[in-house]
Structures are given as C-alpha cells and as structure tokens.
Amino acid sequence: MTGRAVSALARVIAGGYVRWDAPPSANGARVYFANHTSHLDFVLLWSYLPTHLRRRTRPVAARDYWEKGPLRRYLAGHVFRALLIDRAGPEARRAVDQMAHGVAAGDSLILFPEGTRGAGDAIAPFKAGLYHLCELHPGLELVPVSMENLNRVLPKGEFIPVPMVSRVIFGESLRLEDGEPKDEFLARAREAIEALREDR
Amino acid sequence: MIDDRELLWLMTGIAGTLVVATVAGQTLRLSVGGATIANVNARIGAWWVMSAAFVAATLTGGIGSLVLFALLSMLALREFVTLSPTSRGDHRALAWSFFVVIPAQYVLVGVQWYGLFSILIPVYVFLLLAARIVLSGETDRFLERAATIQWGLMACVYCVSYAPALMLLDIDGYDASSGKLLLFLVVVVQASDVLQFVWGKLLGRHRIAPAISPNKTWEGFVGGVACATLLGAGLWWATPFNPWQAAAMSLLIALAGFAGGLVMSAIKRDRGVKDFGGLLPGHGGVLDRIDSLLFAAPLFFHLTRFFF
C-alpha cells in the first residue's frame, strides 16, 4: 500500500520517458544496475518495475545513510525492503556475500556499481562488487538501466525535489562470460549504460 | 444538480462533439487505418479525459478550477524547466518556484486580489528569483538562467492563472462564477487548434513558417480561425457578449492562440524536441496542449474586464 503510494509519487515528480528494450521476463532473480546521481534513482527505477517484480526486488543501499532516523529506517525496512550494506570498515567485505545471499533467496537487486552519487555528466568506473557477485552466481542476468535528469530533480546535498521529466531506459540484459577478466567485464557493463544514454 | 441551463448546454455540446469525433475516428480506423488516424484516435481518447477533468473542476466552482489550473501550471513548468539550461545553482530557486510561487499566485487569484496577482510574478518574483539564484554563487550564464526561469514562470504560471481568474470577474448582469466564460475561452481556443489541424490536414498546401512548424499552413490557419470565430459567435448566449462581440473576442482568442502555438514551437525547435512531454497520448505534453491557451487567457481576461 505504502509502496504503491511511494512509487506513484516518484513518478509524478520525477517520471517521464521510460523504455524497455527487452520486456522483463516473468520471474527469477536478476540485477538491475544503473548510473547513480540522486537518492531518487532507485525509488524511480523500483517504481517502474511491474508490481509482481517490484515485490521481489530489493535495492542495495548504504547502511550509514538509511539507518539514520525513524523515517529512513521505516522506508528502507518496510517499503523498499532494502538490502543494507556497509560501505566502509571491516564489514564492507561482507557486502558481496549479503548480495549473493539475497539473490540465492530469489530476490532481484537494484545496484549502483559506481558506489556513490555523481554529478550527472560522466559515469564513474564501476566497483568490483558486481563482478564478484556474478562469480558467486554464474549466469546471473544483469539489466543495464540508464537514468537521466534525476540529478536535476534531487541533486546531492538537496532535500527538496524539483519536478522534472526524466528519461529511464532498461537495456538488454548481459551476463558475465566464462573466464572474462574483471576489468573487461566491468568496463563492458559500464559501456552498456553509456550506449543507452547516447541512443536517442 | 446543475441549475444553469446555459452551462448544461455547453457541457452537452462538448460531450456531443466528443461522441461524434469518437464515432468518426473509429469509422476511419476501420475503413482507412494508418498512423495519422491512430494518432487522431489517441488524441480523441485524451480529449475525453481532459474534458472530464475540466468539466468536473468547473462544476465544483472556483476552487476546483483553481486547483486544476495550479496543477496544470506545475506540470507545464516541469516540462519547461526540463528543457531549460538550468544548473545546479538554480535548484533552490526552482523549488521556490514550484512550491511557493505557484500556490501563492493561485491563492491570490482565489481571493480576488487583482492588484497583487497581476504583479506578483512580473515584479516581485522577478526580483526575488534573481536574488535567490545569485545567492548560489554560480555566475556562469547567470542572466540566461535567471531569464529562462522567469520566462517559464510568466508563461506556465502567470499567463495560465488568468484562465481561472475569469470565474472571479464582476460583470453586470452576468454570473461569471458559473464558469461559463472560462468554458467559452477554453472551447474556442482548443476548437481553434483542432480546426486548424483538421483544415491543414484536408487542404494544407502553403506553409506559414516552415522553419518553425512544418504543420502550420495558411489554409489551416484561415479555415481554423474562421471556424473558431463562427463557433464562438454561435456561443454568444453563454457569455455577456452579443453575437458580434462574441465573434470579435473569438477571433482575438484564435489569433493569440495561434501566436502561442508558434512561439512554443520555436522553443521546441531550438531545443531539438518535437513535444514538451508525453503525458497526453497523441498530444505530447501538457505544455503542448495549453500553448495557445496561455497566450489567449490574459488577453481575453483584460478585454472582458475593461469593456464589460
């Protein structure tokens, strides 16, 4: 119920053009990975998923941010069912295990492999987590998602969103090839999003 | 429920026109088919939704129309700002525009404070906005950014707010609060758009402004404006005007609306897009639909206010 309201609100403020290059298949865990410029990124991506997929999709988010204050904790825990990971400290290594655990349980994930929010112009190099996750789950389906204009809706450091029309494209999925080196794979995944951004 | 016979007739007319259009559209789909017909049918479908929202708002009196037009302003400004070269430093100024300026403008219209609602955005927001943007410390393309946001507020908020303001006019021997005058304006301005489209598709040969809008032709312009003028004259019984006055008003509404469509087309052309958005199937964005209204509303409001 709250989930529906939140996703409707996200689309009213930040929605706009959305396109699926490959229609989402029925079930099974997959990872949606996207460029990251705003706290609204995952909310909008999540709101665009068909309801039956949304129920089984968990955004991967930073514990230090989402455990601050009762509202954030409620949203992360009960509305988005976020998979909270530690970005720093001794626990950071466990992040991949946590994600792998989520996938093993049959949940899809929303992941921002840049690891932090950018200004919106360029996509930063991807962190290795996506690769290590695929090592643990060979054949895992990865859906690249390009998100544009969200940095203008709610940029880093602002707390009031400005309504703006966004552009979200779900690309065709890719997988880690057998024996593909880490750097090559991460570059290929990043380029998949770049290609969607240039495609007009 | 509706005591006003004239209002009832206007609404019956709108519903009747849509029924005829729907039947004609479906007949064409079955007999001719093609992309143009599919687009026309998508437009007709959206017309049903827009008309229902508009009529429902009118029936609730002034409040409903104020809320509806305030929402239209927000949606239009959202589409406008998306295509504008704003930057990170404009964020707070934009937040003020959406969440303070728009409500304030419509509240002033609602409390009939004409003296302030007519200068809030052109004078005070003009000054405050520039001041708020300069506080961000970002001077890169400063004037361009400030001017663009100001232009968006003038077009999408200030001009649009003149439409519901019609319900609050004080006219001798005429009840403007029933919403008939607002309906008259919207019917004439939108009919003019549709009729120009239809005449253009049927007879269009000579383009008016090929560099701006390839779809606007002299044949469509003359046919559409003439028919809209006749339609407006035929609706004189719902207005405080006599048939001649209603015709003159309709002519001005149609001409102003044409100018509005052309100006907004130039903006789209400059930004390299075909539509401002995709909210209304077949039509594009909200701003694509109200581009002619926002030019016609202030003119119609002032002419009515001064002469009637």
Each residue's pLDDT tens digit, B18-64? 999 999 999 999 888 888 888 889 999 999 999 999 988 988 878 99
Closest residue to B277, CB basis, from A16, A152, A158: A16
Q: Where are the domains of chain A?
A: 2-198
Tokens of A3: 């989930």
For B137-154, write each residue's pLDDT tens digit: 888 999 999 999 999 999
Closest residue to B95, CB basis, from A149, A160, A165: A160
Substitution target from A152, A156, A158 for chain B, most B beta carbons within 10 A: A152
* Maximum pairwise Cα distance, chain A: 46
CB atoms under 10 Å from CB of B175, counted, come to 14
Tell me if B196 sits within 8 A of B229, measured CB to CB. Answer: no
Q: What's the whole-number average pLDDT of chain B? A: 92
- Give me the sheet containing A57-62, strands edge to edge: A16-20, A166-170, A141-148, A30-34, A108-111, A57-62, A83-85
Q: Please tell me chain A's helix, strand, coil percentages from 3-state DSSP, rounded to the nearest 5.
A: 40, 20, 40
- Residue B3 confidence (pLDDT): 67
Q: Would you give the DSSP letter of residue B76?
A: H
With contacts defined as CB-CB under 8 Å, which chain B residues touch A162?
A: 81, 91, 94-95, 98
Q: Under an 8 A CB cutoff, do A162 and B81 touch?
A: yes
Residues with Cβ < 8 Å from A14, sequence gap 6 or more?
Answer: A40, A44, A149, A150, A153, A154, A161, A163, A164, A166
- The residue written with tokens 């954030």 in the block is A72
Residue B86 lies in a domain: yes
Substitution target from A150, A162, A166, A167 for chain B, most B beta carbons within 10 A: A162
With contacts defined as CB-CB under 8 Å, which chain A residues touch B78?
A: 163-165
Measured CA to CA, the distance from residue A122 to residue B136 in angstroms comes to: 23
C-alpha distance across the termini of chain B, in Å: 29
Closest residue to A164, CB basis, from B81, B99, B285: B81
The Cα of A92 is separated from the nearest Cα of chain B by a number of Å equal to 32
Tell me if A101 sits within 8 A of A133, measured CB to CB. Answer: no
Long-range pairs, A179-183, Cβ under 8 A, ≥24: A182/A128, A182/A131
For B189-244, write each residue's pLDDT tens digit: 999 999 999 999 889 889 998 888 888 999 999 999 999 999 999 999 999 999 99
Residue B31 lies in a domain: no
Across A22-140, the runs of DSSP E, i.e. the strands, are 30-34, 57-62, 83-85, 108-111
For the ranges A19-28, B79-88, B156-165, B224-233, which has the lowest average pLDDT?
A: A19-28
Residue B1 confidence (pLDDT) above 60 = no
What is the rounded average pLDDT of the residues B104-128?
95
Measured CA to CA, the distance from residue A156 to residue A159 in angstroms comes to: 8
Across chain A, the runs of DSSP E, i.e. the strands, are 16-20, 30-34, 57-62, 83-85, 108-111, 141-148, 166-170
| Residue A20 identity | W
Across A113-156, the runs of DSSP E, i.e. the strands, are 141-148
Measured CA to CA, the distance from residue B200 to residue B254 in angstroms comes to: 15
CB atoms under 10 Å from CB of A44, counted, come to 24
Residue B107 lies in a domain: yes
% of chain B beyond a pLDDT of 70: 99
CA angle (B190, B195, B198) in 5-degree steps: 130
Evaluate the CA torsion angle B62, B65, B69, B71 in order and state its sign.
positive
Phi, psi for residue A61 in degrees, rounded to 5: -135, 165
Residue B273 lies in a domain: no
Q: Is B12 left (phi over 0), alpha (psi -120 to 50) or beta?
A: alpha
What is the rounded average pLDDT of the residues A32-38?
93
- Residue B174 confidence (pLDDT): 87
> Which has more confidence, B168 or B242?
B242
For B266-281, write each residue's pLDDT tens digit: 999 998 888 888 778 7
The Cα of B77 is separated from the nearest Cα of chain A by a number of Å equal to 9
Residue B103 confidence (pLDDT) above 70 = yes
* Structural domain boundaries enclosing B121: 62-168
Closest residue to B74, CB basis, from A149, A161, A163: A163
Q: Under an 8 A CB cutoff, do B82 and A160 touch?
A: no
Which CATH class for the A2-198 domain? alpha beta
Measured CA to CA, the distance from residue B153 to residue B160 in angstroms comes to: 10
Residue B122 lies in a domain: yes
Is A9 part of the contact surface with chain B (CB cutoff 8 Å)?
no
The count of CB pairs under 8 A between chains A and B is: 36
Which ipTM was obtained for this model?
Answer: 0.83
Domain count for chain B: 1
Tell me if B235 sits within 8 A of B274, measured CB to CB. Answer: no
Q: Would you give the DSSP letter of residue A163?
A: P
Q: What is the pTM of this model?
A: 0.90
Q: Is B77 left (phi over 0), alpha (psi -120 to 50) or beta?
A: alpha
pLDDT band at A200 (very low <50, low <70, confident <90, very high): low
Measured CA to CA, the distance from residue B95 to residue B93 in angstroms comes to: 5
Tokens of B288: 């694509």
Residues with Cβ < 8 Å from B67, sequence gap 6 or more?
Answer: B57, B106
Q: Under an 8 A CB cutoff, do A16 and B82 touch?
A: yes
Q: Under an 8 A CB cutoff, do A165 and B94 touch?
A: no
Is A12 part of the contact surface with chain B (CB cutoff 8 Å)?
no
CA angle (A85, A90, A96) in 5-degree steps: 40
CB atoms under 10 Å from CB of B190, counted, come to 21
Tokens of A195: 């290609």
What is the rounded average pLDDT of the residues A171-177?
91
Measured CA to CA, the distance from residue B40 to residue B35 in angstroms comes to: 9
What is the rounded average pLDDT of the residues B87-104?
94
Tell me which residue of B197, B213, B178, B146 sits closest to B55, measured CA to CA.
Answer: B178
Pairing of strands A30-34, A141-148: parallel
Q: What's the whole-number average pLDDT of chain A? A: 88
For A133-172, write each residue's pLDDT tens digit: 999 998 899 999 999 999 999 988 888 999 999 999 999 9
The Cα of A9 is separated from the nearest Cα of chain B by a number of Å equal to 14
| Residue B258 identity | F
Q: Under an 8 A CB cutoff, do B86 and A152 touch?
A: yes
Tell me if A7 sits within 8 A of A46, measured CB to CB. Answer: yes
With contacts defined as CB-CB under 8 Å, which chain A residues touch B86?
A: 152
